[in-house]
Structure 1
Amino acid sequence: MALLAGDDLDRDKFFKAGHPVIKGSTFDLTIGSIFDAKGDRKVEPYNLKPGEMVQVVSAEEFNLPNNVTGHVTYKTRLTRKGIWALTVGIIDPGWNGPMTTTLFNFSKVEFPVAIGTPFLRVSLFQHKGVHDSLLKTSGLASEYKREVQSDASTVFPRSFLNLDVVASSASKLALKSFNRTAIALIAASAIVFALIQLVITLSPPFVSGWSSDTQLEIEKLNYQIEMLRQEFDSSTQVEMAKLRHQMELQGQDLDTFTQVEVEKVRQEIELLRQDFDNFKNKNLPSDLSTESNEN
């Protein structure tokens, strides 16, 4: 198998339509048709948004003999601008149609996809002839393009991996986990408060003998609240870092919904501590309340 280069790269020999750009050992293919996620054909430059995909078909149509195989790669100049061709590979001997690929914008800015722009690079390799029964053809170019147009509207999503949906879902799941933890402890603390209030109300003569048990419960509750605060702060940092990484892939900053919801949970925990302090000051004997505050 030999790589064709220089004078061996003959447009008329390997193509039946279009104007491929001849390089030293490759041909550059140019964009001939653009189909968006709705399957609509675009004539004017299409502004490909960050994270968005679009289907493009080459203006050039191959006419490969049975002893030549093509190898397609993406243009490195496009990748430097954040545009990646997702489907590249081998062109079988006998192929007599255009090439199609999916362009994906993984940059943070829009990119104009225009007809005539070089987008793929093709190397041709000559080898022993392949039997006619193994040759692969494309059929009519018009039918091939209609198939690509149909796939664009029915198979491919508009954005790669739907990153906006992924980030939003991850944010909601993280906040749901935080809320469950905080609400569970708040509910448990409320029950403890109610029991303490009930005992004080119904059994004031026994408050002095009960003080040591109460002190122990207060210390346990203080410890639980503090552990919740530490766990919440630690989990928040980890989860927000994950969400920030997801959103940065599409150029967004984590400064809206997530931070607002996290702050709400943090305020609930702080209110719980304030309620607990107020309860001690109002309902416990002065010596016991002072002792608890000192601890």
Structure 2
Amino acid sequence: MVLTSAEIAQKEIVGNSVANGQRATTYDATVGCIIKDGCEISGNSHTLAPRGIVWVVSAETFKLPADVTGLATLRTTWTHDGILALNVGIVDPGWDGPLAAALVNFSNTNFVIKKGDNFLRLLFHGHDQCYPKIIKKTPDDYKKDIINKSRMFSDSFLSMDRLVSEVTEKVFSVPKFVIYLTLTGLALAAASIFAPMAYSVWSDNRNIAADLRSRVESVEKEIDDLRAQSSAAARLRNSEAHLSGSDRMGAPIQPSQPASPQQIRPVK
């Protein structure tokens, strides 16, 4: 069962509550202090650069009884602006102290965090009585814990400049002969891969060229045979024409025979 604002107040869950944090069924925790690189920001605001990380501690304290569990999420308005909270979630029964979140700016523009801004929205669920472990943190002790935690974090999330610098330093600190051996190994590996492929392509092209050359020679031979046959046929036709003309010119002329007396009839 979700507790209403009146039930939250009745159970005295929120200490140091402010009016602008109270909602119908939730409470918005406000920024109490801002911590970066193990130090508390002294001013009233902090500009969070792109990929920057800061810790924000609530101005309120939260005391959850044995029959209430809390759920903390970052304000939707901040998430729409590109801010992500790394460690929000369940607030267990028995917790008594402030709440904090590590915030990362995933946008491409600066984001200003001011003390007193609403940053966490808490929803409280009522349930049957349980027997939780009581954890009590004073605001000062809790702040010291967050300061120590912040020292373990980088000042920026996925800092590309630092990453490139570290990689470059490690690469160029390697002895030159190791780099040469590595490059030689890569070259030999590439040769072992591409040399067989190149030989196969060259061999295939050579076989194709040889086959084409053989076919061209065969076609040329057939053309020569056809030309020879055509020339022989022409010579044969010329010889036959010459012999036919000679026969007509040398044939003897047969004399005409005189008519026989029987063939001569008198004229009546």
Same fold (TM over 0.5): yes
Secondary structure in 2 matching 1:147 = helix
CA distance in 1: counterparts of 2:9 and 2:69, whole angstroms: 14
RMSD: 3.3
CA distance in 2: counterparts of 1:39 and 1:149, whole angstroms: 6
Q: Does residue 70 of structure 2 align to residue 70 of structure 1? A: yes
- Which residue number in structure 1 is paired with residue 86 of structure 2? 86
Say whether the 8 Å CA contact 1:3–1:126 is kept in structure 2: yes
Q: Does residue 147 of structure 2 align to residue 149 of structure 1? A: yes
Letter in 2 for 1:50: P
Q: CA 1:12–1:125 in 2, change beyond 3 Å: closer, same or farther?
A: closer
- Which residue number in structure 2 is paired with residue 42 of structure 1? 42
Secondary structure in 2 matching 1:164 = helix
Q: CA 1:107–1:171 in 2, change beyond 3 Å: closer, same or farther?
A: farther
CA distance in 2: counterparts of 1:124 and 1:135, whole angstroms: 18
- Which residue number in structure 2 is paired with residue 284 of structure 1? none
Q: How far 1:167 sits from its partner (Å)?
A: 4.8
Q: How far 1:169 sits from its partner (Å)?
A: 6.0
Letter in 2 for 1:129: Q
Unmatched runs of 5 consecutive residues or more in structure 2: 172-178, 185-194, 199-268
Q: CA 1:73–1:11 in 2, change beyond 3 Å: closer, same or farther?
A: farther
Q: How far 1:50 sits from its partner (Å)?
A: 0.6
Letter in 1 for 2:163: V
- Which residue number in structure 2 is paired with residue 100 of structure 1? 100
Q: Which aligned pairs between 1:254-269 and structure 2 lie closer than 5 A?
A: none
Secondary structure in 2 matching 1:144 = helix
Secondary structure in 2 matching 1:96 = strand
Letter in 2 for 1:100: A
Unmatched runs of 5 consecutive residues or more in structure 1: 185-219, 224-295
CA distance in 2: counterparts of 1:11 and 1:50, whole angstroms: 41
Say whether the 8 Å CA contact 1:17–1:62 is kept in structure 2: no
Q: How far 1:82 sits from its partner (Å)?
A: 1.2
Larger Rg: 2
Aligned partner (choices 160, 165, 174) of residue 163 of structure 1: 160
Q: How far 1:168 sits from its partner (Å)?
A: 5.3
Q: How far 1:54 sits from its partner (Å)?
A: 0.4
Q: Does residue 13 of structure 2 align to residue 17 of structure 1? A: no
Q: Which aligned pairs between 1:246-257 and structure 2 lie closer than 5 A?
A: none
Q: CA 1:49–1:27 in 2, change beyond 3 Å: closer, same or farther?
A: same
Letter in 2 for 1:7: A
Secondary structure in 1 matching 2:70 = strand
Query: Normalization by structure 1: what TM-score?
Result: 0.54
CA distance in 2: counterparts of 1:12 and 1:84, whole angstroms: 30
Q: How far 1:124 sits from its partner (Å)?
A: 0.2
How many residue pairs are counted as aligned between the two chains? 183
Can you list the C-alpha shifts for 1:128-159, whole angstroms capped at 9, x where unaligned?
Answer: 1122xx23323322111111112223x11101
Can you list the C-alpha shifts for 1:52-75, whole angstroms capped at 9, x where unaligned?
Answer: 100110011012111111011111
Q: Does residue 12 of structure 2 align to residue 28 of structure 1? A: no
CA distance in 2: counterparts of 1:142 and 1:109, whole angstroms: 32
Higher helix share goes to which structure?
1
Q: How far 1:163 sits from its partner (Å)?
A: 2.9
Say whether the 8 Å CA contact 1:53–1:104 is kept in structure 2: yes
Secondary structure in 2 matching 1:158 = coil
Structure 1 moving runs of 4+ over 4 Å: 167-174
CA distance in 2: counterparts of 1:21 and 1:44, whole angstroms: 19
Say whether the 8 Å CA contact 1:25–1:123 is kept in structure 2: yes
Q: CA 1:163–1:5 in 2, change beyond 3 Å: closer, same or farther?
A: farther
Query: Normalization by structure 2: what TM-score?
Result: 0.59
CA distance in 2: counterparts of 1:95 and 1:77, whole angstroms: 27
Say whether the 8 Å CA contact 1:92–1:136 is kept in structure 2: no
Can you list the C-alpha shifts for 1:103-150, whole angstroms capped at 9, x where unaligned?
Answer: 11111111111101111111000011122xx23323322111111112
Q: How far 1:42 sits from its partner (Å)?
A: 3.0
